[in-house]
Amino acid sequence: MLKTIRVQVPGSTSNLGAGFDTLGLAVDLPLEVIFHFDVPSTHILSARGEGAHEIARVEGHLILRAFSHACEELNQTPPHVAFEINNAIPLKRGLGSSGAAVVAGLLAANVYFNNALSQRQLLNLTNELEGHPENASASLLGGLTVNGVHNGQVLCERFAPPSHWKAACFVPDLEIATEDTRRVLPASIARAHAIGNLQSAAVMVVAFAKQNAALLEFATRDFLHQPFRKMLIPGFDDILAVAMHAGAYGAFLSGSGSTMLAITEDTRTQEITNAMAKEAQGHNLSGKPMVLSFAEHGATCEVAI
């Protein structure tokens, strides 16, 4: 009988400008969860790292919900489980904390029941729980994922990220929940803007497939969500502008925010994060600069008998 399963899941950025609910990209911010099965009841043993005060209430609930959801899919009674959480992903900042939590719970249950769920089934379950596929698919598979949903089935392909591309980020102290940022979106947009987003999202996929950084500035244009969500973030336009001026290839709102992320060469990351942080300070927006690698590999599991 299994005694423990250790799951490590990378965080993610999503949308990448125009690819709303379509593009996900894994980042090297790990969520680690250790599941213990030789226990008399289900509970959380400990929570450490980013947002530790909220992890047990928010992420812990998501992990357990996902674990139970996978058990239901397999028509299995969920075993008692206790788990430890060590989290490096800032919560409610657009860096995929909830997607990673969902993947952790699903993977642990799948491993417990002898990997009875296929990758496609896991992707479908993440979409059922999250309501959109791109963050969780990137956390599950690593790299850049391109996603669609048809009749409840997730269609997903991935590309390996160029190793010399990095993420230069500014992570505000400002928390933004995905549900809140969806409320500010309009019910419809102009045809010209819809066409613009289609062009940008398509070019973003080509930029990664061909590792062509010259395409990224065009590829990060967005008319669908950033023009409306930016109103929630002081200095948004100016912070992205200084990132581009400092040498970024492209810059965008990470997921629904509040993190702002620029793709750049690894040699320019410090200059860009410093410029973003200085500009944010000028708008009285507190937070921290952060340099991240893109995660080529997705979630992993280690098992102890």
Instruction: Tell me the backbone φ, ψ of residue 216, rounded to 5 degrees.
Output: -70, -35
- For residues 126 and 210, membership in a common domain is answered with no
Give residue 13's pLDDT.
Answer: 98
Measure the CA–CA gap between 280 and 262, rounded to whole angstroms.
14
Measure the CA–CA gap between 128 and 133, rounded to whole angstroms.
8
Measure the CA–CA gap between 232 and 228, rounded to whole angstroms.
8
pTM over 0.75: yes
- For residues 156 and 192, membership in a common domain is answered with no
- For residues 12 and 133, membership in a common domain is answered with yes
- For residues 120 and 187, membership in a common domain is answered with no
- For residues 16 and 81, membership in a common domain is answered with yes
- For residues 121 and 171, membership in a common domain is answered with no
Measure the CA–CA gap between 126 and 157, rounded to whole angstroms.
15
Measure the CA–CA gap between 161 and 51, rounded to whole angstroms.
28
Cβ(30)–Cβ(10) below 8 Å: yes
Cβ(74)–Cβ(117) below 8 Å: yes
Give residue 190's pLDDT.
Answer: 97
Reported confidence tier of residue 140, pLDDT bands at 50, 70, 90: very high
- For residues 274 and 254, membership in a common domain is answered with yes
- For residues 255 and 179, membership in a common domain is answered with yes
pLDDT single digits (tens) 122-139: 999 999 999 999 999 999
Give residue 275's pLDDT.
Answer: 98
- For residues 50 and 133, membership in a common domain is answered with yes
Residue 39 DSSP code:
-
Give residue 286's pLDDT.
Answer: 97
- For residues 232 and 103, membership in a common domain is answered with no
Number of H helices, E strands in the chain: 11, 11
Name the domain count of the chain: 2
- Where is average pLDDT lowest: 29-33, 175-179, 268-272, 287-291? 175-179
CATH at residue 199: 3.30.70.890
Which residue do the tokens 């090297």 mark?
Answer: 28
- For residues 116 and 186, membership in a common domain is answered with no
Give residue 280's pLDDT.
Answer: 98
Mean pLDDT of 151-157: 96
Measure the CA–CA gap between 60 and 98, rounded to whole angstroms.
10
Give residue 58's pLDDT.
Answer: 62
pLDDT more than 70, % of the chain = 97
Expressed as residue numbers, the domain containing 219 is 165-292
